[in-house]
Structure 1
Amino acid sequence: MYTIPGHHHISMITKSAQENNHFYRDVLGMRRVKVTVNQDDPSMYHLFYGDKTGSPGTELSFFEIPPVGKTHRGTNAITRIGLLVPSEESLHYWKKRLDEKEVFHDEISTYAGRPALKLEDEEGLRLVLIAAGGEKVKHWAAWEKSDVPAEHQIQGMGPVEMTVKRTDKLADTLTGMFGYTEVSQTGDEAVYQSVEGEAFGEIVVKYEDGPSEKPGRGSIHHLAIRVKNEEELAYWEDEVKKKGFQNSGIVDRFYFKSLYFRESNGILFEIATDGPGFTIDGDVESLGEQLDLPPFLEDRRKEIEAKLAPIE
C-alpha cells in the first residue's frame, strides 16, 4: 500500500489577481512561481506562490474571478490554511511585519498544539502561521529575492482545517482510505497526520452544524495531496472508485497529473503527482515572470492574453 507524503498545493478564489499578487508576494514574501490560466476556463488567471521552485507542499494557488461575490462562511468547507515558519522568534517577526503592513491578525497563541499566529488576507481568507520548530517540507528552498529574511520565511503548508457536519465520514476517508493517523482529539476537533510527527501533512477536522459555506472571494476551493508518480496516482484512482466516490479520472495538468473527488461532506480533494513541476517550461531564475500556457493552449495565446489584465 502507498502512503500520502503530505500536502501538494491548495487552491483558492480571488477577486483581484493584482491585489492577491501584492499580498502573497509583497506582504507574505512568497515567490510567485507560475502565472498561468485555469485550464478549464482560460479566461481566468491561475496564480501559484511557493518556495524558490514552487515545490510540492509549498504551493498556494488562486483562481481569479473578478465578478465573484462575498464568501458566506459555514460548515462543510476547508476553513483555514496553516503556513509553517521556522520558530517562535519568527512569529514575533511576523507579528511586527503584519502590524507594519496593516494586516488583520490575532495575538500569538497556539493552534493544533503549536505556537501560532492567526491572520486573514485582504479577502478574508483565514491563515495561521505556525512555529514548526524544524518541521518543514524536506525539499523546501528559500527564495533569496524575498524581502523576508530566510530565517523567517514561510516554509510550506502546515495543518489544513476542514469544518464538516459528519466528522466520522471525513475521518473514514482520511484513515480508512488514505492511511492518515488520528494523533489528537479535543472536544469537537481532531488532528490527523499523513506522516507521523510532521505538521506538513496534517489535517485538522472540526465539527460544526448549520448551513454549508457559500464560496466566494477568499474561500478555499480544494486541497491537493501528494503522490510521487503516475503509478501511485493510478493506485489511488482505484481506491477512490472502491470507496464509491465519483471522480474526474486522471487529468493531465502538464505541471502535474491529478485526480479529483468529493468526499461525503462535499470537501473537494485533488490527488496530484510531484512532477514534472513548474520548471518544465521555464528556468528557475525567471519563474512566474511571464504568462505560461500548457502546450494544448499555446495556439490560443493571443486570444487568452487579450482577455487578461496585466499583473505587476
Structure 2
Amino acid sequence: MRQGILGIHHITAMSGVAQRNLDFYVGLLGLRMVKKTVNFDAPDVYHFYYGDTIGNPGTIFTFFPFGEGPRGSIGAGQATVTSFSIRRASVEFWLKRLKDHGVSVSGPEKHTNETQVIFFRDPDGIALELVAHDGAEQRPGWRDGSVPREHAIRGIYSVTIKVKNHALTSDFLTDVMGFRLLEQSGERHRYEVGEGGPGTMIDVVSQEDAKYGRNSVGTIHHIAWRVANEEELVRWQTKLINAGMRVTEVKDRSYFKSVYFREPGGVLFELATDPPGFAIDESVEKLGTDLKLPEWFEANRSTLEAQLPQIHLPVIGRE
C-alpha cells in the first residue's frame, strides 16, 4: 500500500456564470468535463469537474459556479495560482490560441528549473499558468478535446499559495505532511511530496504585510491532496488531529472520500482518496454528459434541475 501524501488530487475554485466557465475550460483550454454534479453542501449550485480522459487524480480542476455573485479578493490564506503542464513544443500554439481568443497573456518566461511559463487569467480573474517542461508527454491529457492531442494540457503542474508567515507553513508541510524543500527564490519556496515532479509541487509565497483574501467568485477555494485509500485517509486524519489541526469528519464525495483542515497560514486543504474515481456512475465514454446526484439528493432531482441554470457543452471543433 502506498503511504503518505501522493501529490495533488484536485483544486477547487469559485466561478461566476456557469456557461462562461464551461466555454473557457472545455472550449478554449480543451479540458474534459469529467463530472457534472452539484455542490454537496449547497445543491442549488453546480459542481463541475474538469480533467483528462478518465479524470485521473492530479488532472482535476473543479468549480462551483455561483453566477453573478459577489466578487472575492485574492490575498494571504489562499491558493492564488493554478499551473498546468504542457509540452515544450506547445508554447507557440498556446500563445497564439489564447491571444486569438482575446485572452491577455504574459510570457513565456524562462525559469531556473528549465521551464517556460505562460501566465493568464480566466474570465473570473483566476490566475493560471501553462508550464512547458520535459516529460509532459508522459502525463495524461484529453485526447478528444478542442485542442489537438499533441498540444493538450497534461494535468496540474503545481499550485501557489500566499501566507503571511512562511515559517509556520513550512514547518507544517515538512514536519507533518512530509513535503521536501525543493528550491527557494526570494520569498518563494517550492516544496514537493511523494515521488516528486509535476503534480506534486506547491509554491509558498510569503508576504508579511499581505491582506487576507476573501473567498467568493474569482478565488480558489481549496487544494486537495491525494491519499491512496480510506484507510490512509483515516490514518492521516488521526495524525493531523494529534498535530493540533482541526480536522473534519470523513466526508463522502461519491467519487472520493475526504477530510478538510486549514494549514497554519489559513489555506484550506483537503485530503482525498484516489478511489473510487469518476466512472462509478457513468461509462468513460459518457463522463460529464448527464447531471449526476448523490443518492441522498435524488428525491429532489426535479426541483434541483429547475433551480440550476441551463447549460450545454461547447461544440468540440479543433482549430
Counterpart for residue 78 of structure 1: 79
State whether residues 35 and 289 of structure 1, in contact with CA within 8 Å, keep that contact through their aligned partners in structure 2.
yes
CA distance in 2, matches of 1:50, 1:308: 22
Counterpart for residue 261 of structure 1: 261
CA distance in 2, matches of 1:6, 1:72: 27
Counterpart for residue 126 of structure 1: 127
Counterpart for residue 315 of structure 2: none
State whether residues 112 and 191 of structure 1, in contact with CA within 8 Å, keep that contact through their aligned partners in structure 2.
no
State whether residues 137 and 200 of structure 1, in contact with CA within 8 Å, keep that contact through their aligned partners in structure 2.
no
State whether residues 57 and 226 of structure 2, in contact with CA within 8 Å, keep that contact through their aligned partners in structure 1.
yes
23-32 vs 143-152, which deviates more? 143-152
Percentage of pairs with the same residue: 38
SS of residue paired to 1:145:
coil
Residue 24 of structure 1 pairs with residue 8 of structure 2: no
State whether residues 117 and 129 of structure 2, in contact with CA within 8 Å, keep that contact through their aligned partners in structure 1.
yes
Counterpart for residue 302 of structure 1: 302
Counterpart for residue 178 of structure 1: 177
State whether residues 73 and 219 of structure 2, in contact with CA within 8 Å, keep that contact through their aligned partners in structure 1.
no
Q: Which amino acid aligns with 1:193?
A: E
Q: 1:197 to 1:135 in 2, by over 3 A?
A: farther
Deviation at 1:280, TM superposition (A): 0.5
Deviation at 1:76, TM superposition (A): 2.0
Residue 104 of structure 1 pairs with residue 104 of structure 2: yes
State whether residues 84 and 136 of structure 1, in contact with CA within 8 Å, keep that contact through their aligned partners in structure 2.
no
Deviation at 1:132, TM superposition (A): 2.5
CA distance in 2, matches of 1:284, 1:299: 26
The TM-score normalised by the length of structure 2 is 0.93
Q: Which amino acid aligns with 1:172?
A: D
CA distance in 2, matches of 1:154, 1:287: 18
Deviation at 1:112, TM superposition (A): 7.0
CA distance in 1, matches of 2:138, 2:144: 20
CA distance in 2, matches of 1:43, 1:184: 43
Q: Which amino acid aligns with 1:207?
A: S
Residue 273 of structure 1 pairs with residue 273 of structure 2: yes
Q: Which amino acid aligns with 1:306?
A: A
Residue 153 of structure 1 pairs with residue 177 of structure 2: no
Where does structure 2 lack aligned partners over 5 or more consecutive residues? 313-319
SS of residue paired to 1:276:
coil
CA distance in 2, matches of 1:111, 1:28: 23
State whether residues 84 and 131 of structure 2, in contact with CA within 8 Å, keep that contact through their aligned partners in structure 1.
yes
Q: Which amino acid aligns with 1:281?
A: D
Counterpart for residue 198 of structure 1: 197
Deviation at 1:200, TM superposition (A): 1.2
CA distance in 2, matches of 1:241, 1:286: 40
Where does structure 1 lack aligned partners over 5 or more consecutive residues? none
Deviation at 1:167, TM superposition (A): 0.9
Deviation at 1:137, TM superposition (A): 7.3
SS of residue paired to 1:275:
coil
Deviation at 1:45, TM superposition (A): 0.4
Alignment RMSD (CA, Å): 1.5
SS of residue paired to 1:200:
coil
Counterpart for residue 236 of structure 1: 236
Counterpart for residue 316 of structure 2: none
